[in-house]
Amino acid sequence: MASLTLNPPTPSLSLSRCFPKKPTISCSFTSQSHKCKREYTSVMIVPTGIGAAIGGFAGDALPVARALSSVVDCLITHPNVLNAAMLYWPMPNALYVEGYALDRFAEGLWALQPVHQNRVGLVLDAGIEQELQVRQLQVADAARASLGLPVVEYIVTDTPLKVEKWVDPETGQSTGRIKHPDSLLRAVQTLMNRSKVNAIAVVGRFPDDDTDDVDDYRQGMGIDLLAGVEAVISHLVVKEFQIPCAHAPALAPLTMSLSLSPKSAAEEIGYTFLPCVLAGLSNAPQYMVMHSESTDKGCIVARDVDSLILPKDACGGAGTLAFARNGKNKPLIIAVEENETVLDDTADKLGLEVLHVSNYWEAIGVIAAHKAGIDPYSLRRNKILNIGCTPCMPVNGHSISRERAIS
C-alpha cells in the first residue's frame, strides 16, 4: 500500500454552492459551540457497465451515496450511482453530474453551478412502439403532477436512433453506439431553441434480449449490458451542448422471474426506467466552461474536492487520473477492495497514491475522520509510529541536522 499523507483542506470559497444561502466560511460563536470550517466535498465514482459488485446493477450503490451524503457537506456523483429505474432518493446536498461532465470537471476544464431548478426536455426515440411511448409520457406527466418536476416538453426524433450494444472483448465492459446520432442531436437542439430547456432526458429503444442473455444480471451477477451504450448516448449530448443529460432505455417487459436478485429488482417493478432520470435532472448542476464569465458566479471547481471514493480496480478513468495528478490540490483518494469490477486498473499498476480500505463502511469512516481533520491512521491500532526527521538542506555540500541548525 502506498504511503498516505493527509494534507489539511485547501481554503476555498466555492463549496458553499451546495447550499447557496449559506456563506462559505461559517463562523458562529456561542457559549456552547465554535464552528469555523469550510464545507467538505466528496466525489463518488462507480463507472458504468463494468460489472461493479456494488453499483453495477439497478441503483445498488445508492445506499452508499445516501450514507456518504450524511457525512459530507457536498456529494458529487453521477447517474449510475443515483439512478434506480423506478426508484430514487432525493439528497439535498448531492449533485447529479453526468460522467463526461464529471471527467471535464476533474480535469479543471468545467465548473459545476448548482441550481434550484432546470427546465427538462424529453427526447423519445422514433423507434419506440406506440404503447411503449405512451408509457414514457405517462411517467413524465406523473412526475409533473405528483412530484412537481419541471418537465416542459417532449420531442420524437425524426429518425429511429438504432441502438446497438455489445461487450468489449478487451476490457469485458459493455459498450455500443447509435447508428443515427445526428437525429438525436437535432432533437435536442430543437428542444433547446423552442422550449429553452437546459437539461435533457433521452429514452432510446434498445434491442430486446433473450432471457438467457440477461439471466446472470437478473441474478445479481455479470455486467449490465445496457449501461455502456447509455453512457455513449449521454456523453454525446453533454459534449455537444454542455448541459445535463441522462438516458433511460425503452424495453419490452421481461417475463417474471421467481428468483430475482434484490440488486436488480428496481428495473422489474414498472414499465420504464425514466422516473429516476427526471428526478435527477430536475436540479442537476449546470456545466460552465472554465474562464467564462460565469465561473466565478457560485461554481464548484476541481480544487474544491476533498476526497474521492471508487472501486479498487477502476482507477484508470480520466476523472480519477485528473484528480490524482492535481498537484497541491489533490484530494484524498480511497479505493474500496470489496467493490470488484471486470477491469484491472488498480492504483498500484497506475502508480497512484491511494488509501485502500476493505469496504464502504471503512471508506465512510475514513472520510468522517478526514473531514474532522484527523489522520485516519490514528483510529487504527499501532498505525501511528514515531515521528520522522527530515535533514536540512546541504550547506557547502554537507547536510546539517535539525538540532545543530537551531543550536
Burial of 167 (C-beta count, 10 Å sphere; 0-12/13-18/19+) = middle
Residue 240's nearest CA partner among 165, 188, 301, 282 is 188
- Taken in order 253, 259, 260, 262, the sign of the CA dihedral is positive
Is the pLDDT confidence value at 60 over 60?
Answer: yes
Between 390 and 346, residue with greater pLDDT: 346
Phi-psi region of 86 (alpha: psi -120 to 50; beta: other; left: phi over 0): alpha
DSSP 128: S
Count of residues in the chain: 407
Is the pLDDT confidence value at 201 over 80?
Answer: yes
Is the pLDDT confidence value at 382 over 90?
Answer: no
**Where do you find CATH 3.40.50 in the chain?**
36-110+300-379, 120-284
Please tell me the distance from the alpha carbon of residue 218 to that of residue 205, in angstroms, as a whole number.
Answer: 20
Cβ contact 121:189 at 8 Å: no
Q: So what's the pLDDT on residue 24?
A: 44
Q: How many CB atoms lie within 10 A of CB 158?
A: 13
Residue 213's nearest CA partner among 200, 222, 202 is 222
Topology (CATH level 3) of domain 36-110+300-379: Rossmann fold (3.40.50)
Decide yes or no: CATH 3.10.260 for domain 120-284.
no
SS (H, E, C) 251-262: CCCCCCCCCCCC
pTM given for the model: 0.85
Q: So what's the pLDDT on residue 34?
A: 47
